[in-house]
Amino acid sequence: MKSNRIPFHKMEAIMILRGSCHCRTIRFSLDSPTPYPYQACYCSICCKTAGGGGYAINLGGDSSSLEVEGEEILSVYRARIQDPDDPEEKISPARRNFCRHCGSALWVYDPRWPELVHPSPRPSTRPCRSHQRR
């Protein structure tokens, strides 16, 4: 059966998301046809690495449009995962990108879905008013 789903990269980009880490060494932009949170992720990895509210919120973006400044400061975390039915521990293919200077969680990229990138919404918006840099 053929899917009627529009391929992600063919959706019309309705917003350019721009973001940075807290220390602003890493800045990025990408096109997003879905610039709204589509998922509150409660997995243990997202809760620990990016879950300020006890969960992480993911946005969807077009990975082919991702542009990064300060890429040399970018670090990637790939979590160790274990399936309850498989005693062998594995390394997750998901790549959680973060700033190695300030620790800000920036986006998740998973090569199993290469057309997508999932920026954290907080780095994609302005800094918190009480902590804005002058």
* Burial readout 48-75 (b: 16 or more C-beta within 10 A, e: otherwise): ebbbeeeebbbbbbbbeebebebeebbe
- Residue from 18, 27, 95, 101 touching Zn ion (CB under 5 A): that is 101
Is there binding between residue 105 and Zn ion (CB under 5 A)?
no
Nearer to Zn ion, 23 or 41 (CB): 23
SS3 at position 39: strand
Stretch that binds Zn ion, among 5-13, 36-44, 91-99, 118-126 (CB under 5 A): 91-99
Question: CA-CA distance, 28 to 41, in Å (whole number)?
Answer: 22
User: Tell me, what amino acid is at 95?
Assistant: R
Stretch that binds Zn ion, among 15-23, 59-67, 107-115, 116-124 (CB under 5 A): 15-23
Minimum Å gap between C-beta 99 and Zn ion is 3
Contacts with Zn ion, residue ranges (CB under 5 A): 21, 23, 25, 99, 101-102
